[in-house]
A and B are shown apart, each in its own frame.
Chain A
Amino acid sequence: MSSPRYVILTDFGSTFTKVVVADLSERKMVLTDRFPSTVSYDARIGLEQCFDAARKAIGEEAFARALKLSSSSAAGGLRMGVVGLSKTLSAQAGRSAAFGAGAKILHTCAGRLKVEDISCLEELPLEILLFCGGYENSGTKVLLHNAELLAGSGLHIPIIYAGNSAAASEVRRLLTQGKKECYLARNIIPNVGQIDKSQVEEIIREVFLHRIINMKGLDKVSGLLDRMVMPTPAAVLSAGELLARGTPTQPGFGDLMIVDVGGATTDIHSYAQQMPYEGAKVVGTPEPYGKRTVEGDLGMRESSNSLCDEIGLDRMIRETGLSSEEIQSVISHWITQNRDLAREESQKKVDKALAEGAVRISACRHAGQIQRVSSAGVKTLQHGKNLTSVGTVIGTGGALVFSGHGATALGQVLRNSEREPDILLPEEADCYLDADYVFFAGGLLREIDEEAAFAIMKNSLKKV
């Protein structure tokens, strides 16, 4: 059988079920559409609406032959916790792996766990816990202590151990005895300055796709699809990498960042090789080429309260020209009515300030920073990733694409080198919006045909 001409790419989100139909022979998008999400009661309804739209676009016969792939971020996406030993090494490496696998992290613990840490983890709606720490052949006492506490905890979620292999069998024994579902992965930080997160990322995705997704009401759609490929954020991460690197026939954009402002979270992706800034000593866990972070307290709707706090009410008042009461009233509305779009002038003003704040703060948290020191043999330390070389910033997500203020919001990624000399963000960059909202599709399609995936995403970009 010849390979299909069309690929139907769907995404189960919390708000919409989206569809993109790609024509591989023409390397172009035939259809993009979205329908209100039905995942909370029957995911099949939303999917059938997407499929009907696809049938209309390419015809019944082509539809039947088309490959059908999907991603999902519905029902809160993939929620993880991370337990490591040190904040800047194993815990940071664990966070990097969890983000890379498409998760959002609800809590991170470092060091010798205390009962309070366990209580905190138990109270959260976690779906997977990543447990790591220690170089190969280093000490195991704290790891085993942590394993005992986790084994005795009320957590009933898969625990992935990716720490010092000297403790692996004992950790697995303890967790299994504690009736925990335990997976072992290669040590995420095998030695000083090394990171190995590919296997643990793979396991996280596997557990998500085969265990967790069914609990999110998506088991009913699996028969209608060829494959559920990956969590949506992992698809977007992969799409961004393709845009940055390019394909054998299409040059990439080079170092870039993707900003996705959502209702509950803001995701930042960056693609750049880690380089020391102005000869600084780079400390902490090695930074991956493709890095993703998720800010769970910075979002336009569910998290608008904490986002407003982070921005500061004074600044919100200054930027919107509204009174404190007017701002609070809009925010209160957003928290309860998180599907609503801004209609009134005051809502639009608040949305603009929130979007700009979400981008600014998330980008600063994502990027590395320079610390000036005097006592050590070095003058500057670099914590985190140097993104000063980034030349392209792309906005995706409804808050940026459909709001009309995407350009000013994306501009917040850029640093002012005089005011913020120590934040490693670019000073200048070309800004684009993912106008057709196709990045999830680009990531999925990359698995099949990266030339088509690149061309479709590139066509979707509108310079702002």
Chain B
Amino acid sequence: MREIHSQIDKIAAQTTIGETLFFRHHGVKSEAEFKRKAMQEGFISKHSHIGWNSWDETAKNVEYIYRELERRGSYITRMGFIFDWVMGVPEEYRSKLQPGTGLIFKTPEEWKAIGQIAPIQPHMSDHMIGCPNALENARLALEAGVTSLGNVSHYFTYEYPGIELERERTVNSLLAFGLMGKFDGTIVHSNLDDGYGNQFHDLANLTGWTMIERYLVEELLGASMTFSYGNLFSDPISRIVFNMVCDATNVKNTPGTMTFGNTIDYGLDFSKNYGALSSFSLADAICQRHKPTGHAVASVPVSEACRIPTADEIIDGHLCVDMMIEKAALYEPYVNWTAVEAERDVLLACGRVFFERVMNGLDDLGVDLKHPGEIFAALKAIGAEQLEANFGVGKKEKTALRGREPVRPTDIIKTLQTKQKKMFLSAGKVEGELSGKIALIGSTDIHDYGKELVKSLCNKAGAEVFDLGTYVTVEEIIENLLETESKVVIVSTYNGIALSFAKDLITALEENEMTDVVLIMGGLLNENLDGSQLAVDVTQELCALGVNCDNQMETIVPTIKKIYEGTYQR
């Protein structure tokens, strides 16, 4: 670390913070300085994320949005620019990645231009820091006057397939965080929803996770950080509670960047989406009225779920949010803040337990708890699921998803728990029905909620379930059948490969003389057949292969029982 720190000092000495139009307009030297003043004056910032892929279109629209909002008596404080993923890797590796649809900057002049379009402060978070090119991105962004940069969370989840730069990612991220720590007014941003935040089931563990990220970035690397969240927070009150949770550990009083809009509730019906926009922005505005943290209220255009929004749709969203900000002042005195604070305190208390458990676990593994690089790498290698399963604060419960009852489930998990309750009800009394029976389970893709539900039902019925995780392969299933002697393989699939996967597995079962093993498949049983563009249902073809395609939770337990009793008919 000594070397890292001396490098940080050297780079910092050669770096100067640029001046954006926004800074000049407001007479400040950083966004943090502006936010602190705004918080004192009761002014609530507003934010939009934009993602046009050409510079000309971006510049034209940003200017239009600023002028038009001004003309209509509204405002926008900051804008998040979506960068292409190739920006996450050094120049010499970019040809290995297929460029996407985001902005790509090649020269310092292009970087500097971003803060000179209109008096809107730019925010950069995608593929900036937390990636292999973190240091260069941070330096160029700071020189351009962009003082809020993310994402810490991306270190753990954003990948660049085909490019093996994990060591560079770690070193450069440490350098980038450390560099920002050398300049007052810079804010290291972490959007939890992009990282482990969307993988934890329990908000208590997520709270503990914020403490871990803060420990790394603030205590060990000397920077100031803030958390962003919101995409996955549907419940308006949980948004307020979580903001207060993050604020409670913000000992440096670093202003927040923004709270993201809740996009879970967005669909194709724009009228309903206006309702969703009003709901979350009202909650976020009430929160800022009660205890300002500097988080800007985000306006998410109602069209976002179905297309890249137009500049006018972004403007419409802001006008709607303006009304919510105005009315929030009327709601704020009547919110039961004692109850909100009690919820905050539960999360904080449990989060501290999670933090301690993880740190103790890392210490047991021999990780140097004063070395941020070691901790970052170890946490990434362990992954959110294992962290939650091993160090989570929820009570251990075999039938619970991930084996623990969340203290405060996330909104997605709440929905899943509701489904689980319904499933348990429809399955009837299953306790003990599968005692001593063994089942293998896995999913062919990243979607594991279906798998988790079936697993919890089988556990409830007393089965010994061996979970092979996501992206399961035929070879793994065969090898695990040899180890377990299971007669049942349950595969959840959503990625349109149901038939070819089943064919491969059944061939392998035959080759290994395991024809008594029954394959149960559920999820989306479809596939593109004969080169067609549209995936078609393949249930009949699967049944013809002897695969169980009931695809109903309530029949799983009796089916497994029959398989073991030898009465199951294919």
Residues in chain B near residue A252, CB distance under 8 A: none
Contact check, A89 vs B483: say whether CB atoms are below 8 A apart.
Answer: yes
Residues in chain A near residue B391, CB distance under 8 A: none
CB-CB contacts below 8 Å: A181-197 with B: 189, 191-193
Contact check, B468 vs A375: say whether CB atoms are below 8 A apart.
Answer: no
Contact check, B467 vs A192: say whether CB atoms are below 8 A apart.
Answer: yes
Known: A139-B438, A192-B466, A273-B381. A376 touches B483 (CB 8 A): no
Contact check, A281 vs B471: say whether CB atoms are below 8 A apart.
Answer: yes
Contact check, B483 vs A279: say whether CB atoms are below 8 A apart.
Answer: no
Q: Is B500 an interface residue (CB 8 A)?
A: yes
Known: A89-B483, A134-B483, A139-B438. A389 touches B471 (CB 8 A): no
Q: Is B61 an interface residue (CB 8 A)?
A: no
Q: Mark A135-171, 1 if CB is under 8 A from B, else 0.
A: 1011111100000000000000000000000000000
Question: In the complex, A278 Cα to B474 Cα: how many Å?
Answer: 21
Known: A137-B464, A138-B485, A189-B483. A376 touches B471 (CB 8 A): yes
Q: Is B482 an interface residue (CB 8 A)?
A: yes
Q: Write 26 A-B pairs (CB below 8 A) sorted by A numbering.
A: A85-B483, A86-B480, A86-B482, A89-B482, A89-B483, A110-B482, A135-B484, A138-B485, A138-B486, A140-B485, A141-B485, A142-B482, A192-B467, A192-B468, A278-B161, A278-B163, A281-B471, A281-B473, A375-B474, A375-B500, A376-B444, A376-B501, A377-B470, A377-B493, A377-B495, A378-B473
Residues in chain A near residue B495, CB distance under 8 A: 377
Known: A281-B473, A375-B504. A139 touches B162 (CB 8 A): no
Contact check, A85 vs B482: say whether CB atoms are below 8 A apart.
Answer: yes
Q: Is A28 an interface residue (CB 8 A)?
A: no
Q: Is B554 an interface residue (CB 8 A)?
A: no
Residues in chain A near residue B438, CB distance under 8 A: 137-139
Known: A137-B464, A138-B486, A378-B473. A275 touches B166 (CB 8 A): yes
Question: In the complex, A233 Cα to B336 Cα: how many Å?
Answer: 68
Q: Mark B435-451, 1 if CB is under 8 A from A, else 0.
A: 00010000011000000
Closest A-B pairs by Cβ, 6 of them:
A139-B485, A86-B482, A138-B484, A86-B479, A377-B444, A377-B445
Partner of A279, one of B161, B470, B479: B161
Nearest chain A CB to B440 CB, angstrom units: 9
Interface size on A, residues (CB 8 A): 37
Residues in chain A near residue B166, CB distance under 8 A: 275, 389
Nearest chain A CB to B377 CB, angstrom units: 8
Residues in chain A near residue B381, CB distance under 8 A: 273, 275
Q: Is A381 an interface residue (CB 8 A)?
A: yes
CB-CB contacts below 8 Å: A351-382 with B: 373, 375-378, 381
Contact check, B474 vs A135: say whether CB atoms are below 8 A apart.
Answer: no
Question: In the complex, A375 Cα to B500 Cα: how many Å?
Answer: 6
Partner of A87, one of B472, B479, B485: B479
Interface residues of chain B: helix, strand, loop or mixed (majority): mixed
| Contact-size category for B | 35 or more
Contact check, B497 vs A133: say whether CB atoms are below 8 A apart.
Answer: no
Question: In the complex, A87 Cα to B163 Cα: how many Å?
Answer: 30
Contact check, A138 vs B497: say whether CB atoms are below 8 A apart.
Answer: no
Interface residues of chain A: helix, strand, loop or mixed (majority): loop
Q: Is A334 an interface residue (CB 8 A)?
A: no
Contact check, B479 vs A376: say whether CB atoms are below 8 A apart.
Answer: no
Question: In the complex, A133 Cα to B484 Cα: how many Å?
Answer: 9
Chain B residue, CB-CB nearest to A87: B479
CB-CB contacts below 8 Å: B326-379 with A: none
Chain B residue, CB-CB nearest to A388: B164
Q: Is B235 an interface residue (CB 8 A)?
A: no
A-B pairs with beta carbons under 8 A, tally = 95
Partner of A278, one of B162, B167, B466, B470: B162
Q: Is A90 an interface residue (CB 8 A)?
A: yes
Nearest chain A CB to B102 CB, angstrom units: 20
Question: In the complex, A232 Cα to B381 Cα: how many Å?
Answer: 32
Q: Is A464 an interface residue (CB 8 A)?
A: no
Contact check, A86 vs B471: say whether CB atoms are below 8 A apart.
Answer: no
Q: Is B159 an interface residue (CB 8 A)?
A: yes
Nearest chain B CB to A368 CB, angstrom units: 13
Chain B CB count within 10 A is highest, among A90, A273, A281, A284, for A281
Nearest chain B CB to A236 CB, angstrom units: 21
Residues in chain B near residue A111, CB distance under 8 A: 482
Partner of A375, one of B469, B483, B485, B497: B497
CB-CB contacts below 8 Å: B475-498 with A: 475-476, 478-480, 482-486, 493, 495, 497
Chain B CB count within 10 A is highest, among A138, A142, A389, for A138
Chain A residue, CB-CB nearest to B378: A273
Nearest chain B CB to A381 CB, angstrom units: 6
Residues in chain B near residue A275, CB distance under 8 A: 166, 381
Known: A134-B484, A138-B486, A275-B381. A283 touches B466 (CB 8 A): no
Residues in chain B near residue A191, CB distance under 8 A: 466
Question: In the complex, A111 Cα to B484 Cα: how many Å?
Answer: 12
CB-CB contacts below 8 Å: B190-215 with A: none
Nearest chain A CB to B484 CB, angstrom units: 4
Contact check, A138 vs B164: say whether CB atoms are below 8 A apart.
Answer: no
CB-CB contacts below 8 Å: A82-131 with B: 85-90, 110-111
Given contacts A88-B475, A192-B468, A377-B497, 4 further A-B contacts (CB under 8 A): A86-B480, A283-B476, A284-B479, A381-B475
Residues in chain A near residue B469, CB distance under 8 A: 192-193
Q: Is A277 an interface residue (CB 8 A)?
A: yes
Contact check, B473 vs A138: say whether CB atoms are below 8 A apart.
Answer: no
Residues in chain B near residue A273, CB distance under 8 A: 381
Residues in chain B near residue A89, CB distance under 8 A: 479-480, 482-483
Question: In the complex, A283 Cα to B469 Cα: how many Å?
Answer: 11
Residues in chain B near residue A373, CB distance under 8 A: 473
Residues in chain B near residue A141, CB distance under 8 A: 485
Known: A138-B466, A278-B163. A378 touches B479 (CB 8 A): no
